[in-house]
Structure 1
Amino acid sequence: MAKIIITGGTGLVGKRLSKLLIDKKHEVVILSRTPKHKNEFKWDVSSNYIDEKSLLNTDYIIHLAGAGIADKRWTKERKQVIIDSRVKTANLLFDKTAALNIPLKGFISASGVGYYGAITSNLIFTETDKVGADFLGDVCQKWENAAHQFSTKKIPVTILRTGIVLADKGGALEKMKTPIVSPLGSGKQFLPWIHLDDLCGIYIKAIEDNLSGIFNAVAPEHHTSKTFSKALAKSIKRPFLPIGVPGFLLKLIFGEMAIILLEGSKISAKKIEKNGYSFRFKTLKKALYNL
């Protein structure tokens, strides 16, 4: 049994991951700005504060905290919030654990497939490919660099570059369940996805099997916006309209942020599979049926 701190523990992934870890008899501590339960402790990056009691005897930190990429339009101020909510929080964790000399067994951080850039191509991106030359690439690189600080203290670092997380409640899937389901833009952009339980399974494997390094956390099956929408429409028994929502309209509504809806590439899941993770939901059909 390990003691595990989770940041972003009240979010979509954090809630499910906490439950699964507790079910496996691990001790879970949540860092929260407004702690409400006995396993929640206060932290506040603006005042550089973490309740030090939460850090004592910690084995692992899972860093999920970060402002939603798609929650608001990307103004200059919002872009800075997106970066700071990931980087400054990681810096705070590093500074406090170093000051208290906490001998962590591992630091596990979320990242995004946006690392490779918001582009559409037939290239299948692997963990060794270079960072994309756009805002998302910049966010992910700074996020990952903040995590890599822990390796300077000889603490193993694991980074999971995550695709769109599919869950039964909340997240992207809920927003896709429109009365008429249709692709976005050209419909040719790829949509890397993963079932929530597989993503949590990879986090748990990283802890229980001491898995370190960078891994793409996406399902092995590739889908475009068009094939994804078609499968979703069938699974929820709603009409499918093959004509995509026009790109100019999405740009009008979402501004620069529309790029994450209109572009996307294939991402390889081979590395995590070669390291022994067996996906429960390899196909979109199986994932949607479950959800």
Structure 2
Amino acid sequence: MTMTVDSLRGRHALVTGGGRGIGAAIARRLLAEGASVTLVGRDVQVLERAAGELRPLLTDGAVLTAVPADISDADSVAAAFATAEAKAGPVGVLVNNAGQAYSAPFGKTSLALWQRMLDVNLTGTFLCTQAALPAMMAAGWGRIVNVASTAGLVGYGYVSAYCAAKHGVIGLTRALALETARSGITVNAVCPGYTETDIVRDAVANIVDKTGRSEAEARAELASRNPQRRLVQPDEVADAVAWLCRPSASAVTGQAIAVAGGEVMTG
């Protein structure tokens, strides 16, 4: 199939955590680029609802699939990829978006919380990448985009486990980018700041519960960390991901791009 320079038509993109928030926005954007998309997540109802909303965006020949899976479990990941590939062909674009964030002072961070943050945010990225990479290597083309966080670039208090996991994602991104640099595969990360998602809504609720501040005050506190004094929108993150997935972005690999209104500057 002939493709235009910046089209993903004929490509199969798998998006973890694709049922809501940033993941759903990314899926919508990749569908607009002409890709077939598989949504992966733990909640079947959330996935099916998202698929129903996205299905009208399908272009000719594209396929939209929803596959439930626990990305922290190797067998579940293998089964999900087998199902996705049977319905839409080999995965050529992998977006590791699924993640969780929980806060606790370091002294009260239990081993279970520590392990949970590593399992979902880092091990899940590792497992899905290992599942997708062989087909990409065989095709001589692939795009892996890891949705990390500004917490993968700097430190934040009271989320040490989450920060450690997201720093690990950045390290994995850079190491794998070097290993695949001559294979036609790029590996990058996008690092959103505080974004209008369930994670931020949970953070706002936590601030309200612990400090007695109003919801508006809590939201303003989070937004104040962004020099633009606002929360990032999921579509803004999705646009950055879509750019990295395009064929014309082949020279961009090993990067961790902050989508955070200037909160973090790297170079």
Q: Is the 8 A contact 1:12 1:171 kept in 2?
A: no
**How big is the alpha-carbon RMSD for the aligned residues of Structure 1 and Structure 2?**
3.6
Which residues of structure 2 form unaligned runs of 5+?
1-8, 52-63
Deviations 1:20-66 (A, max 9, x none): 32233221111234555660234344253323242442221010012
**What secondary structure is seen at the aligned counterpart in 1 of 2:98?**
coil
Distance 1:70 1:64, change over 3 A: farther
1:215 is aligned to 2:257 = yes
Question: What is residue 83 of structure 1 aligned with on the other side?
Answer: 118
Alpha-carbon distance in 1 for matches of 2:92, 2:222? 43
Q: Is the 8 A contact 2:151 2:167 kept in 1?
A: no
Alpha-carbon distance in 2 for matches of 1:17, 1:203? 7
Alpha-carbon distance in 2 for matches of 1:180, 1:81? 28
From 61, 69, 72, the equivalent of 1:43 is: 69
Q: Is the 8 A contact 1:4 1:58 kept in 2?
A: yes
1:22 is aligned to 2:56 = no
Counterpart amino acid of 2:91? Answer: T
From 182, 196, 218, the equivalent of 2:234 is: 196
**What secondary structure is seen at the aligned counterpart in 1 of 2:195?**
strand
Q: Is the 8 A contact 1:57 1:102 kept in 2?
A: no
Distance 1:53 1:216, change over 3 A: same
Alpha-carbon distance in 2 for matches of 1:172, 1:188? 8
Question: What is residue 190 of structure 2 aligned with on the other side?
Answer: 160
Question: What is residue 145 of structure 1 aligned with on the other side?
Answer: 171
From 5, 10, 14, the equivalent of 1:5 is: 14
Taking only the aligned residue pairs, the percentage that are identical comes to 9
Deviations 1:120-177 (A, max 9, x none): xxxxxxxxxxxx9x5444222212233445432443111111101136xx55368479
Which residues of structure 1 form unaligned runs of 5+?
120-131, 221-265, 272-291
TM-score (normalised: structure 2)? 0.64
**What secondary structure is seen at the aligned counterpart in 2 of 1:48?**
helix
Q: Is the 8 A contact 2:18 2:24 kept in 1?
A: yes
**Paired residues for 1:104-123 under 5 Å:** 104-115=141-152, 116-118=154-156
TM-score (normalised: structure 1)? 0.59
Alpha-carbon distance in 2 for matches of 1:14, 1:143? 17
Q: Is the 8 A contact 1:94 1:149 kept in 2?
A: no
Distance 1:194 1:29, change over 3 A: same
Deviations 1:89-134 (A, max 9, x none): 1221233234555544211001111131126xxxxxxxxxxxx9x5
Counterpart amino acid of 2:33? Answer: K
From 86, 99, 104, the equivalent of 1:66 is: 99
Alpha-carbon distance in 2 for matches of 1:80, 1:20? 32
Greater fraction of residues in helix: 2
Deviations 1:172-192 (A, max 9, x none): 36847986733699x699513
Counterpart amino acid of 2:200? Answer: A
Alpha-carbon distance in 1 for matches of 2:127, 2:144? 13
Distance 1:207 1:95, change over 3 A: closer
Distance 1:136 1:81, change over 3 A: closer
